[in-house]
Amino acid sequence: MDFKKTILWAVFSMSGLMLYNNWQVHDGKPSLFGGTPVSAPVSVEKTSVGNKVDAPVQALGNAAKPAAPVVNPGNIESAEKFTLKNDVLELEISAVGANVVDAKLLKAFTAEQKPVELFQYTPTHKYFARSGLVALGNADLPNHTSTFKLLQSGKDGSGRPFVTLASERNGVKLEKTFILNPGSYVVDVGHRVTQASANTSPLVLYTEIVRDASQEQKIGPFDGAFSASTFTGPAVYTGKEKFNKLEFTEIDKNKITIPAQAPAGDPAWVAMVQHYFASAWIPGDKFARDIYAGKIDNGLYRIGIQTPLGDVAPGSTVVEKARLFVGPQEESMLETIAPGFELLKDYGYLTILAKPIFWLLEKIHGYVGNWGWSIILLTILIKLVFFPLSAASYKSMARMKEVQPRLMVMKEQYKGEPQKLNQAMMEMYRKEKINPLGGCLPVVIQIPVFISLYWVLLSSVEMRGAPWILWIHDLSIPDPYYILPLIMAASMFVQTKLNPTPPDPVQAKIMMYMPIVFSVMFFFFPAGLVLYWVVNNLLSIAQQWQINQMFGKKHAK
């Protein structure tokens, strides 16, 4: 029985910790559990190149240090902008640097029913993508501070909208062509480099994403209750090292770990990740690419890739293509873009369970067309999978309820003698073939599934703004009227009454307080998660009541 008491105290303590953690997150503070830990640092000098100056990074094939500051760069805020738009994405490209400084997601909306603006370049928030050229000879070439002029725009032969901008410095001309495919969040970006100078040196193309460390924009009155629990910051993927997230705080301390280079032929990409959305540069894989990250003086962070173009002979032209993704973390879409790209969707530490749960949930949604009913059907399926084990546990609890009167007699008989009481109870359990811990199994088994589903609902942009019925208009945020948490508390109270009362008064009080603790804790959980727990509790009550009835009839005979 001491072991059972320990389990109860552990569950109670964990509930209190989760309650406090969600209160902290709801209040805009970091989660107690933090993000994914980073590995031991490698040479910062190489991986954190360009750490101080908002200038092009010097080619990593040479000395790994920042290039000299660019004098009097153009003003992006006041520069001319060029618009590129399809049915899901609207981009603004600045004449300064031909940088993508604004991106509106036309099918994702804020609480004010305005398109989510992922890229922004404003006085309060900066998040954008840029590219340019550097040379091993340190020549001043067209880069993200240069002034670009419009060459042409419109639609290509396939009907795709495009815009081409060009800039020339020191005899090197860089043309950037941005093309949008219908219904796609991926921008095809071509970099056409023409060499007119006789003084040539190996050229390097860099593509990078820059942003500040602020959290993403809120979408409604409850948004932010969970967004602080999700990762916001740079990420990198290579075929060898796989997926790594870089915390802003670790970049500040120069303790980041990223692959120094991606070999030719291996997939590689860099990204900026936030709750529900992400952006990424996906270069070609013809050459070995260098990866870098760092902080810039004005509070911005960057993650980028350098692709060597080699020696471009005078009068010749070379074209290097890359892709820029700006969009939602829809898993089925991410899987089609690049190897490992689906890892942008963060499932936390239980990815091995969360991914199949989401896969099943998505399949169910394909039939019923409503995420709320999909969660209910998923709960029923999970309950059926664990039915035999749950039945055995409920039978154990029913047997415990049968012997409850004998336990109370023992308690009076051995009052003040806890050791003898425990010995007598264990002997009775042995004779009656009762497992006193059997009733704990359903809760223990559900914890990993519960946490996995929590991350599924927390991370899935597919749930964002998804209604169920009546007052539940968004399953990804808490119930606005707290009706589901109150129903869950009531169902837990009924379950407590169906269970045998623990002989230990401390345990009995804990079991009575559990519904209250959980209901308050669930006030801050997404409505979809509470819906899962409510349905699971109702099914458990029905199963437990039926088993209790069966044992009651057997006892009456």
Task: Identify which of 118, 115, 70 has the alpha carbon closest to the alpha carbon of residue 96.
Answer: 70
pLDDT, mean of residues 42-66: 46
Check if the beta carbon of residue 517 is closer than 8 Å to that of residue 16.
yes
What is the tens place of the pLDDT at every residue in 207-218? 999 999 876 544
Quote the pLDDT of residue 322: 94
Whether 340 shows a pLDDT value over 80: the answer reads yes
Residue 219 φ then ψ, to 5°? -115, -5
Q: Where are the alpha helices (DSSP H) in 212-315?
A: 248-252
Q: Which architecture does CATH list for 38-344?
A: Distorted Sandwich (2.70)
Quote the pLDDT of residue 264: 84
Domain boundaries, the chain: 2-25+354-556, 38-344
Handedness of CA 353, 354, 355, 361 (dihedral sign): positive
What is the tens place of the pLDDT at every residue in 192-212? 999 887 667 788 999 999 999
Instruction: State the Cα–Cα distance between residues 270 and 280, nearest whole angstrom.
Output: 5
pLDDT, mean of residues 233-262: 85
pLDDT, mean of residues 322-339: 93
> What tokens appear for 405 in the block?
């009167």
Maximum average pLDDT range among 98-107, 388-397, 428-437, 464-473? 98-107
pLDDT, mean of residues 125-143: 87
Quote the pLDDT of residue 71: 40
Alpha-carbon dihedral of residues 25, 30, 34, 39, nearest 10 degrees? 160
Burial class (CB in 10 A: 0-12, 13-18, 19+), 217: middle
Instruction: State the Cα–Cα distance between residues 158 and 25, nearest whole angstrom.
Output: 48
Instruction: State the Cα–Cα distance between residues 179 and 189, nearest whole angstrom.
Output: 7
> What tokens appear for 448 in the block?
């990993």
Instruction: State the Cα–Cα distance between residues 484 and 127, nearest whole angstrom.
Output: 38
Element (H, E) at 393: helix 387-402
Element (H, E) at 377: helix 371-385
Residues ≥6 apart with Cβ < 8 Å to 294: 48, 49, 50, 51, 251, 301, 302
pLDDT, mean of residues 377-394: 76
Instruction: Considering only residues 65 and 270, tell me which one the structure prediction assigns the higher pLDDT.
Output: 270
Instruction: State the Cα–Cα distance between residues 428 and 394, nearest whole angstrom.
Output: 19
Residue 231 φ then ψ, to 5°? -80, 135
Q: How many residues does the chain have?
A: 557
What is the tens place of the pLDDT at every residue in 398-419? 666 666 677 777 777 777 677 7
